[in-house]
Amino acid sequence: MDTKLIIPLYENVIIQIATPYSTGTGFYLKSADPIVTNEHVIRGNKNCVIAGKNFAKQLVDVVYVDTKYDLAFIKSPVGHQMPDISTGEAALLDEGERVIAIGHPFDLKYTVTQGIISSMLHKEEDVDYIQHDAALNPGNSGGPLVDINGNVIGINTFIIQNGNSIGFSLPVYYLIKCIEEFKKGSGAAGVRCPSCKHISFEKEGSESKYCPICGTHLVMISQIEDYEPYGVCSTVEEIIGKLGYPVALTRKGPNTWSLNNGSAIVNISYYEKTGLLVGDVYLCTLPENKISELYYYLLRENYALEGMTLSIREQDIILSLLIYDQYINTETMYKLFKNLLSTADKYDNILVDTFGAHWKNTGQQN
């Protein structure tokens, strides 16, 4: 199958995943029904934020955790229309065969990269992995590895960078086996014991923290504590709530949030090392014409703006708000971010309608 045919086939089943601790990729496999991803992507969370091409961003539950194979299942959105994709026979693959790695972490583009298998014999802690050179980044974790026929033959798991990028993917036969075992729980959430590999399922009234087979300590999904922000992050989330947003849905990884207001999307990031809190709005991209008139307009607006700055980064026009944590308090920050939201929604319309700039977020997942 041509790569150009694989791209549209998978873009409808690739899922963006975010928790307060990390971001990653997942994909929908009809035979599993839940969404498949890596355990390390959702680690320490009983739910996570997901977004896809054909459904709105939402909070869903984690239903299976497996540290042995670095696998996790999360609930699919209710009423979704995601198509089915097929799995291949990873055991039939050989070195030198072409593979395709697919991923789409939050705030990054949907990526499809090609490479070849360099080894089918790589082992880590008694688990087989497919070693290949298809380019991966950490946000691609949990995405599918696909053969040239468009079949899932692995799950992208980790990458080693030592001058060359080497990717490792868990062969799909482990995933199929885990799906079969998970289904035995009849819909109950489950956790695999990393020692004896037995899956313990949540039972009503049961609070056991130990594997019934070998006695290894387990943390069941229902026993995972809810995320509690602290310090500046707590203040940020308090403000987000006061602005009328569901806080959990705005989280996009460590110290990162995203707020939608009309056509504007405000990305908020807190950098603990520098103490800087940044609100960036990528308003639109530069037009082909009226460039000088646009530059003059941005400079004039910067002179009048209070606490915000308009700038250009490559082809993007950005409205930014910067605050150092030593000056942060709830009242001031509430006013600043409320102003940023309303100003951003105003500017992107002016830039598009008056100067011919191009919409930045059309057709993107947010």
Q: If you average pLDDT over residues 344-362, what whole number do you get?
A: 86
User: Burial level of 362, CB count in 10 A (0-12/13-18/19+)?
Assistant: exposed
The answer, yes or no, to whether residue 4 has pLDDT greater than 80, is no
- Residue with token string 């090392």: 273
Distances (CA, A) of 339 to 319, 324, 343: 12, 18, 6
**Tell me, what's the pLDDT at 79?**
85
Structure tokens at 45: 């969370």
First-to-final CA distance of the chain: 30
Q: Which of 49-63, 79-93, 150-164, 216-230 has the lowest mean pLDDT?
A: 150-164
Compute the residue count for the chain: 366
Residues 267-326 pLDDT 10s: 999 999 999 999 999 999 999 988 999 999 999 999 989 889 999 998 999 999 999 988
**H helix or E strand, kind and range, residue 125:** none
Q: CA 69: distance to chain centroid?
A: 20
Average pLDDT taken over every residue of the chain: 89
- Residue with token string 């014409």: 289
**Tell me, what's the pLDDT at 19?**
95
DSSP secondary structure, 325-355, as one string: GGG--HHHHHHHHHHHHHHHHHHHHHHHHHH
Q: Which of 198-202, 296-300, 340-344 has the lowest mean pLDDT?
A: 340-344
Given a contact cutoff of 8 angstroms between Cβ atoms, the answer to whether 106 and 51 are in contact is yes
Helix/strand/coil for 242: helix
Q: What structural domains and CATH numbers belong to the chain?
A: 1-226 (2.40.10.120), 231-359 (3.30.1460.10)
DSSP secondary structure, 184-219, as one string: TTTT--EEE-TTT-PEEEP-TT----B-TTT--B--
**Tell me, what's the pLDDT at 180?**
94
**Tell me, what's the pLDDT at 364?**
41
The answer, yes or no, to whether residue 360 has pLDDT greater than 80, is no
CA distance 318 to 237: 23
pTM of the model: 0.88
Q: CA 156: distance to chain centroid?
A: 14
